[in-house]
Amino acid sequence: MKNLKKIFILTLAAGALYSCNDAYEIIQPGELNYDNAFENVSDLNLALNEVYDNVIAEDIIAFTSVVTDETAIADQNGGQNLDEYRFQIFATNDYASDFWLDNYTTIMYANRILEKADGVELDSTDATTLQDDIDERLRIVSEARALRAYSHFQLLSYFSTDLKNDSALGVILMDHVSTKEEQLPRSTNGEVFNFINEDLDFAQENASLLVGNGPSQITPRAINALRARISAYRGLYEEAKAYAVLAITGSTGLATTEAAYKQIWSDVSLTEVIWGLERPSGKTGIVSNWFFNSATYAGGPFLDMGRNLYAELTEDSNDYRGRTGVFIGATSIIAEDYATVFDYKNSDVLIIAKYPGVSGLLLNNRVKAIRLPEMYYIKAEAEVAAGDLVAARNTLQEIKTARAIVKANAVQIPAFENATQAWKAILDERRIELCYEGHRYIDLKRLGTLAGVNGVQRYERDCTPYSACELLVTDYRFTLPIPVEELNGNRVIREQQNPGY
C-alpha cells in the first residue's frame, strides 16, 4: 500500500495524470486518489522523504564548475558541456530549465504535504502517544516548509538579477498546490524573501522537534546556516554574522588533518557537514558531472580541473588540499612544461578527485549542501562589511591553519590594507575550499566587483581553442534566463524575461 501511495504522490507532483475517455468518471475498486493518498502521519513522512529526494544539487554543481574557471575540456570529451564552457547560455539551456523545473517540483511536493497535513488521521487516541503523533506531524510540516524555503532561495539565486534589491524581479512565489491552467507572474525579491522568512521562522519555532534529526535532514543548525547564507547574499551582514556564529557554535569543528578531511569526501565522516543530501543507488551520481565511469583517468574524464585552480591549490606545499589524492586525482597526468608542451590537452590531464565515489557506486557521493567552512567565510564577509579587517583576517586564518599539514608552518594571511584586499582574500579562499560545491558562479556575481575581480578568468591554453577565456561579472549571463518552457506555457511571464535574453 505504501508503495502504491508513493507512486501516486510522485505522479501527482509531476502532473502526469492520465485517463481513458470511456472511463473518465468511473471509480475503480480500491482506487487511490489524491484525497486519500495522505491518510495518516506515516503517509506524510513518506512524502517528506520524496521532497528530500528531489532537492536539486548535482546540476547546480555541474553548471557552476563548467561555466566558471573550475574546469577545462578534458581529452576524452565528446562534446559534453561545450555550450556552457563557451558561455553560450540561452532560454533553451538545459541547466536553466532543470534548475527551474526541479526546484518547483520540490516546492510542489512540499505544498502537497502542507495542504493535507491538518486533515490526516493521528495514529493513536492515547493521550501520551497522541501528543507524539501531533509532534511528528509538526516536525514533518516544519521540514517541508524549510525545504520549500530552500528551493525558493535557490531559484532567486540564479534567476534574479540582484538579490540585494528587494524591488528587483524575483521568481514565481508558489505557496499552494497549483493547477495546470494557473499562470502566475514573477514576484519581487522582497515578496519572495518575506515568504522564505515566514517558512524558516515556522521551522525555527519548532526547532526542539528537529534536534533529533541527522545531517541528512533539516536541523536547527541547518536552518541557522541557511539563514546565514541568505542574509549574506542579500548583503544583510549583521544578520548573516549572527546566524553564522550560531551555526559554528556547538559544531564538531573543522577537520585538521589530511586523513580526516578526505574522510568527509569519501562519506566515511560527517565532520563539517551541516546539511548533506543522501545519494543512494539509483540516483544520478555527482561524479558523473565530470566522468563517464569513475573519478580516475581510466574512468573517462570529459572535464578536468582548470589549470588556474590547480595553481592556486598547489601554491602552498603545506596545504593538504593541494596534495595529490585529495582534490587532485592520483591518476592525473601532470605536465611540468604545461605552458609549452605541444599536445597540451593530452599531456596535462588534472583529475577532479574531490568526490571519489564510494565502493560499489563509483559515481555516487553524498552532496554536501552546507558545510561548516562556509559559515567562517560568511562571518569574515560580515566583519569586512563592518570595517573590522583584523577580525576578518583572523577568521580566514582559522581555516588556513586547519588545512596546514604542519600547523606551525601554516601560511599567514597578511594584514589587509583596505576592504578590496579583504574581499579578494575571501573570494580566493572560498575558491579553494568550496571548489566543486556549486558556489563559484554566485560568488563571482556577488563578490567580484567588491574584490576587484573581473569575473571568470581561465588559463589561456584551457580556453583559447574555444574562444572562452573570460566572462565579466557585469555580463548578463551571471543571471540565468527564464526557461523557454515556462515562457511558452505561461503568457503572464513572457514580458518578464531577464535582460540580455
**Residues pairing with 368 in the sheet:** 276
Are the C-beta atoms of 265 and 359 separated by less than 8 Å? no
pLDDT bucket at 250, cuts 50 / 70 / 90: confident
Helix (H) or strand (E) holding 470: strand 470-472
User: pLDDT by residue (tens digit) across 140-170?
Assistant: 999 999 999 999 999 999 999 999 999 999 9
If 0-12 CB within 10 Å is exposed, 13-18 middle and 19+ buried, where does residue 240 land? buried
Max CA pair span of the chain = 79
- pLDDT for 377: 98
Q: Is the pLDDT of residue 267 over 80?
A: yes
Can you give the residue ranges of every domain in the chain? 2-15+33-82+94-177+186-275+372-496
- pLDDT for 213: 95
Percent above pLDDT 90 for the chain = 86
At the top level of CATH, the class of 2-15+33-82+94-177+186-275+372-496 is: mainly alpha
User: Within 13 Å of residue 134, how many CA atoms lie on the same side as its CB?
Assistant: 7
The one-character DSSP state at 184 is -
Q: Is the pLDDT of residue 350 over 80?
A: yes
